Amino acid sequence: MMSAEDNRLVTEIGPNTGCGDLMRRYWQPAALTEELGGERPVVRVRLLGEDLVLFRNDDGTYGLIGRNCPHRGADLCFGRLEDGGLRCPFHGWLFDTNGQCREQPAEPPSSNFSRKINHTAYPCIERNGIVFAYMGPGNPPPLPAFDCFEAPDAFTFAFKGFVDCNWLQLNEVGIDPAHASFLHRFFDDEPEEEGYGQQFRFSTEENEMAITKVLREYDCPEIDIEQTETGIRIYALRQMNDEEMHVRITNQIFPNAIIIPISNEIMLTQWHVPIDDTTSWWYAIFSCFT
Ligand code: FES
Ligand SMILES: [Fe+2]
């Protein structure tokens, strides 16, 4: 049984917490690209316990800056996108994507005070439907070379869902190999072509049986774990007969991503992203090889 102290250590993710500092050293999903699809691409973001605002400039660059204006605390979600940045609706301070204040209209023309105002800002990168943010120290690392980032945009599909639990509880569901036999089972096996959208309707390359049927009929997998350079790999082994074994692989990429091949053609990459200490976003990208 985990102690309350250890539990806090792995679930408290605000600034200057152990787990929060760790999470900040990795690119984290901040929003779906489609959330910025309207005429005014400005959205509020709560990520790792911080309140932020994400915007996209005319030139396509993204800014993720503190939500409250450093002047009088106005909500920059109501800011105006203009002149190469986000302008506070209260007194018109203009912030660029680096959080640098560029203009303070009410200051005398001779003032250079704006140069001293550098608001909280985090680098962003958009890839295949998700805008990622780096909230850690120093220069951001490159994005990991996951299939979902290498695949052309047209071969990927990104989505997110709100989950009312902390990131670790959500991650535990992601890597839990036994639940698939019950939660993801179908009682009728339709032909692959007719089951569009149904998870696990495909069969594997070397066996005709749809994966949903494999999961349904072999509901007591043997579980093996191997340590890897980037986390752990979990094998759920379902012995189907003397000759065949179904192997479901879950790659946990520390700290909070997992990658699961769910058929011959489809790879599922997921991130379990802390909104704060007790709620999370589940982000995912499906990548299809055909
Ligand atoms: S509160 Fe933002 S400019 Fe004054
Ligand atoms: Fe599941």
Structural domains present in the chain: 27-139 (2.102.10.10), 150-288 (3.30.530)
Cβ burial of 184 (10 Å; 0-12, 13-18, 19+) is middle
- Edge to edge, the sheet with strand 280-288 lists 156-163, 280-288, 266-274, 257-261, 245-253, 231-239, 222-228
Give the pairing of strands 121-122 and 62-66: antiparallel
pLDDT tens, N- to C-terminus, the chain (290 residues): 889 999 999 999 999 999 999 999 999 999 999 999 999 999 999 999 999 999 999 999 999 999 999 999 999 999 999 999 999 999 999 999 999 999 999 999 999 999 999 999 999 999 999 999 999 999 999 999 999 999 999 999 999 999 999 999 999 999 998 898 899 888 877 776 776 666 677 777 777 788 888 889 999 999 999 999 999 999 999 999 999 999 999 999 999 999 999 888 889 999 999 999 999 999 999 999 88
Question: 207 C-alpha to center of ligand 2: Å?
Answer: 22
Q: Which of 65, 87, 88 to mutate to test the pocket of ligand 1 (most atoms within 8 A of CB)?
A: 88
| Residues, the chain | 290
Cβ burial of 138 (10 Å; 0-12, 13-18, 19+) is exposed
Dihedral angle sign, alpha carbons of residues 138, 88, 109, 84 = positive
Question: 2 C-alpha to center of ligand 2: Å?
Answer: 24
Q: Which of 53, 65, 68, 72 to mutate to test the pocket of ligand 1 (most atoms within 8 A of CB)?
A: 72
Cis peptide before 255 (omega within 30 of 0): yes
101 pairs with which residues across the strands? 95
The answer, yes or no, to whether ipTM is higher than 0.85 is: yes
Question: 162 C-alpha to center of ligand 2: Å?
Answer: 15
Going by alpha carbons, the residue nearest to atom 4 of ligand 1 is: 91
Q: What is the pLDDT of residue 263?
A: 82
Helices (H), the chain: 4-11, 18-23, 147-150, 167-175, 180-183, 211-217
Question: 40 C-alpha to center of ligand 1: Å?
Answer: 20
With contact defined as beta carbons under 8 Å apart, do 13 and 167 qualify? Answer: yes
Give the number of the atom of ligand 1 that is nearest the alpha carbon of residue 69. Answer: 2
Going by alpha carbons, the residue nearest to atom 3 of ligand 1 is: 91
